[in-house]
Amino acid sequence: MLAFLLMYLFYLLIDVTWIAVAWTGVDREGRERIVRTLWALPFLPLYRMAIFWFRFSGFLHASAEAGTWRVQDPVVQIREGIQDLRRHLEDWWRRRMASRMEKNAP
């Protein structure tokens, strides 16, 4: 419980710092808006803690999975792509030569 309290206070300090920095860099209208939204200040650390636990659980889930590589090697993909292009060009060339031979046949 003490850890959560310390984490809450740390996040509260971060949010107060953000508000102080924003306060120094805005005009009068911006300061009025900051004052109007100060009611949310106690809830911001709770939001940050919730986001932390979601992100942390995602990290743990990803770490617990067995690592598998599902993508083919890029060099193999390039090699196969070049071979496929070469086959298509050879087929196209043969068809073209065959049609020319038929046109020139007596």
- Tokens 């109007």 map to which residue? 36
Looking at residue 106, its pLDDT comes to 66
What's the number of domains the chain is made of? Answer: 2
Residues 35 and 82 in one domain: no
Asked whether residue 30 is assigned to any structural domain, the reply reads yes
Looking at residue 34, its pLDDT comes to 94
Residues 48 and 22 in one domain: yes
Residues 25 and 48 in one domain: yes
Q: Which domain holds residue 15?
A: 2-62
Tell me the whole-structure pTM to 2 decimals.
0.52
Residue 16's contacts (CB-CB under 8 Å, 6 or more residues apart) are 41
CB atoms under 10 Å from CB of 66, counted, come to 4
Regions in the chain scoring below 70 on pLDDT = 106
Residues 85 and 37 in one domain: no
